[in-house]
A and B are shown apart, each in its own frame.
Chain A
């Protein structure tokens, strides 16, 4: 299995622009998580899905952030409009109930908003 695949790996955008981050979870996994990592705040859970349904989005910082999971093999995290303080590494992770609770992480998307 190729693991969790995120794209793009790096994104540089100007303040005010829309940014879309993409994630393909491991096939068969029924949980999908979006995390944000910064030096100041560490690894923060933004939102997670179970069977494509958002379960907890209390970590989403503002209405500028939205996430969707239209099917079991694809999810997006969108920031509109982006701001410099959104600069961070965004990780997607997936897991499945039958496999215990191990989360498999993608390589992350490094977002820089200038």
Chain B
């Protein structure tokens, strides 16, 4: 059973388009992270959000943590081929360093 469900599972868009990826759960998380994974590599951290309603921006990427700390979204503006990869959300429960990963969204940006 996955604690975190991501949607969509697969996404293929043209360069320059905008997109949003969702990460949903019925559980409350103390913090939530977004990672990007490229083929043949391990996931790499993009951002951590800890406060309900928090919004963080990383260049063209905007991350939001839901008010109830059960969900999150990642919005990419003007997607580029370099954004291609598997995007994973990961939630922590309690104060430990243990994170539960979502099901993942595979993004392909076509030049």
User: Which residues of A does B touch, CB under 8 Å?
Assistant: 4, 31, 33, 35, 42-45, 48, 50, 55-56, 91, 93, 95, 97, 100-103, 105-108
The 7 closest A-B pairs by CB, nearest first: A105-B42, A43-B101, A102-B45, A31-B97, A42-B103, A105-B43, A101-B97
13 cross-chain CB contacts under 8 A: A4-B42, A42-B2, A45-B100, A55-B96, A91-B42, A100-B48, A103-B45, A103-B99, A105-B42, A105-B43, A106-B42, A107-B41, A108-B42
Q: How far is the CA of A56 from the CA of B96 in the complex (A)?
A: 11
Pair count A-B, CB < 8 A: 55
How large, as a class, is the contact surface on chain B? 20 to 34
B101 contacts across to A, CB distance below 8 A:
35, 42-45
* Residue B72 interfacial (CB < 8 Å): no
User: Which residues of B does A touch, CB under 8 Å?
Assistant: 2, 31, 33, 40-45, 48, 88, 92, 96-104
Q: Which residue of B lies closest to A108 (CB)?
A: B42
B40:A101 contact, CB within 8 angstroms = no
A101:B92 contact, CB within 8 angstroms = yes
